[in-house]
């Protein structure tokens, strides 16, 4: 088939690579978000998908909005059979959805209908799910509600951050998306409507959502830290400034600390929760680089009874 691939961040690059390597389909163009300011100089930088497409010599389309007439006209001129999508980052209007013969097929990083929305991996970890995966589905105008072509499953490991899990899903999902294109072309795949039961939503996790509640059980604190790493970063406060715990491990046999209370030794830093303590392994103080929690504690000279979270 002739394909137009839509995607923007680094997590979409493995899927583009898989389609380019398949040898079976032609990736005629790539659609991505416009260049965005990045770095200290805030200079405009192309998306990772745009950079990869340019390396491969593929036409890159960067509409401000997918409903722009110039973009729609160019898409009609290309005449794609199907448009595979991975984390494109903009809503597609009906007029765009109707252009390819086989529609737009999205790779979503959950087992639909679970975790529809922008942050499925973060929510799966924060909810304590043990299994997740990726799904390919035909995009409709509803939120991740279209019929599903295929899935792959992935175990959520006890130490997984959302970054760890998303990386594995990006590569597993890349193979799924390529196989879905094959199945659509040869007619062996039919999209199956999602069940009405089991729907859960995964809205974007913003900074305020990532604030740690030390009255919550240790397992919930651990999941919050892992689910919000690397972004937006779970956080708390210490002496009026923000502190990001980057890695925290539950310690079931340490139950002597009140929620938020810090106990710092030579090589360990423990914080009380609503159940048992967690050990802080890595933290990032406001305006500083990540460091080992024990080094941070020595530097700030924690006094007995001090707490995180105010």
- Residue closest to 302 by CA, chosen among 259, 268, 276: 268
What is the 8-class DSSP label of residue 131? E
Structure confidence at residue 203 as a pLDDT band (50, 70, 90)? very high
- Residue closest to 284 by CA, chosen among 248, 247, 243: 243
- Report the half-sphere exposure of 236 (CA within 13 A, side-chain side): 24
d(CA 169, CA 157): 13
The answer to the question of residue 81 being in a domain is yes
What range does the domain containing 134 cover? 2-186
Residue 247, domain CATH: 3.10.25.10
pLDDT digits (tens, 9 = 90+) for 168-186: 999 999 999 999 999 999 9
> Measured between alpha carbons, how far is residue 11 from residues 115, 140, 162 in Å?
18, 22, 12
Structure confidence at residue 39 as a pLDDT band (50, 70, 90)? confident
Residues 153 and 48 both lie in one domain: yes
Locus of tokens 């105010």 = 310
Q: Is 278 exposed, middle or buried (0-12, 13-18, 19+ CB in 10 A)?
A: buried
Domain count, the chain: 2
156, 186, 216: which is the final residue of a domain? 186
pLDDT for 271 equals 98
The answer to whether residue 41 scores a pLDDT higher than 90 is: no
pLDDT digits (tens, 9 = 90+) for 125-135: 999 999 999 99
pLDDT for 310 equals 75
Question: How is residue 295 written in tokens?
Answer: 């080094």
Structure confidence at residue 96 as a pLDDT band (50, 70, 90)? very high
Residues 255 and 120 both lie in one domain: no
Question: How is residue 255 written in tokens?
Answer: 């139950």
The answer to the question of residue 225 being in a domain is yes
Residues 249 and 134 both lie in one domain: no
Residues 40 and 178 both lie in one domain: yes
Vertex 75: Cα angle to 69 and 76 (nearest 5): 90
Q: Average the pLDDT over 21-40 and give the result.
A: 93
Residues 150 and 6 both lie in one domain: yes
d(CA 301, CA 299): 6
pTM: 0.94
Residues shown for the chain: 310
Residue 16 marked ligand-binding: no
The answer to the question of residue 196 being in a domain is no
Residue 84 marked ligand-binding: no
132, 151, 186: which is the final residue of a domain? 186
The answer to the question of residue 202 being in a domain is no
Q: Which helix (H) or strand (E) holds 224?
A: helix 218-227
Residues 23 and 139 both lie in one domain: yes
Residues 175 and 213 both lie in one domain: no
pLDDT for 95 equals 97
Residue 113 marked ligand-binding: yes
The answer to the question of residue 197 being in a domain is no
CB atoms within 10 A of CB 92: 21
Question: How is residue 254 written in tokens?
Answer: 């340490």
Residues 174 and 114 both lie in one domain: yes
- Report the half-sphere exposure of 308 (CA within 13 A, side-chain side): 32
Question: How is residue 104 written in tokens?
Answer: 């737009």
DSSP string for residues in 79-129: --SBEEEES--SPPPHHHHTSSTT-EEEEESS-TTTTBSS-HHHHHHHTT-
- Residue closest to 173 by CA, chosen among 117, 109, 129: 109
Residues 6 and 152 both lie in one domain: yes
Q: Which helix (H) or strand (E) holds 18?
A: helix 13-22
Q: What is the mean pLDDT of the chain?
A: 97
pLDDT for 78 equals 98
Structure confidence at residue 124 as a pLDDT band (50, 70, 90)? very high
Q: Give the three-state DSSP class for 126.
A: helix
- Residue closest to 117 by CA, chosen among 145, 140, 93, 137: 145
Q: Which helix (H) or strand (E) holds 32?
A: none
């Amino acid at each position: 088939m002739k394909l137009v691939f839509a995607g923007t961040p680094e997590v979409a690059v493995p899927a583009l690579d898989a389609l380019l390597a398949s040898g079976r389909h032609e990736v005629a163009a790539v659609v991505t978000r416009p260049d965005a300011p990045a770095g200290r100089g805030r200079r405009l930088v192309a998306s990772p998908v745009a950079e990869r497409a340019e390396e491969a010599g593929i036409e890159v389309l960067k509409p401000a909005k997918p409903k722009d007439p110039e973009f729609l006209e160019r898409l009609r001129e290309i005449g794609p059979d199907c448009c595979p999508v991975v984390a494109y980052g903009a809503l597609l209007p009906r007029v765009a959805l109707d252009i390819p013969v086989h529609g737009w097929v999205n790779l979503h990083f959950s087992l639909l209908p679970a975790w529809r929305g922008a942050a499925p991996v973060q929510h799966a970890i924060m909810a304590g799910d043990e299994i997740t995966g990726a799904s390919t589905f035909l995009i409709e105008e509803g939120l991740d509600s279209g019929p599903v072509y295929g899935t792959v499953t992935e175990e959520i490991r006890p130490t997984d951050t959302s970054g760890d899990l998303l990386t594995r899903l990006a590569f597993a999902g890349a193979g799924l998306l390529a196989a879905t294109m094959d199945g659509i072309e040869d007619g062996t795949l039919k999209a199956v409507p999602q069940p009405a039961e089991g729907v859960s939503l995964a809205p974007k996790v913003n900074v305020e959502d990532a604030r740690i509640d030390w009255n919550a059980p240790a397992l919930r604190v651990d999941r919050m830290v892992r689910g919000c790493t690397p972004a937006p970063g779970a956080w708390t406060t210490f002496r009026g400034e923000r502190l990001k715990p980057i890695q925290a491990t539950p310690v079931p046999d340490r139950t002597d600390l009140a929620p938020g209370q810090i106990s710092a030794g030579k090589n360990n830093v423990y914080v009380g929760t609503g159940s048992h303590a967690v050990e802080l392994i890595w933290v990032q103080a406001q305006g500083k680089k990540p460091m080992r929690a024990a080094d941070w504690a020595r530097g700030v000279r924690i006094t007995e009874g001090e707490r995180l979270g105010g």
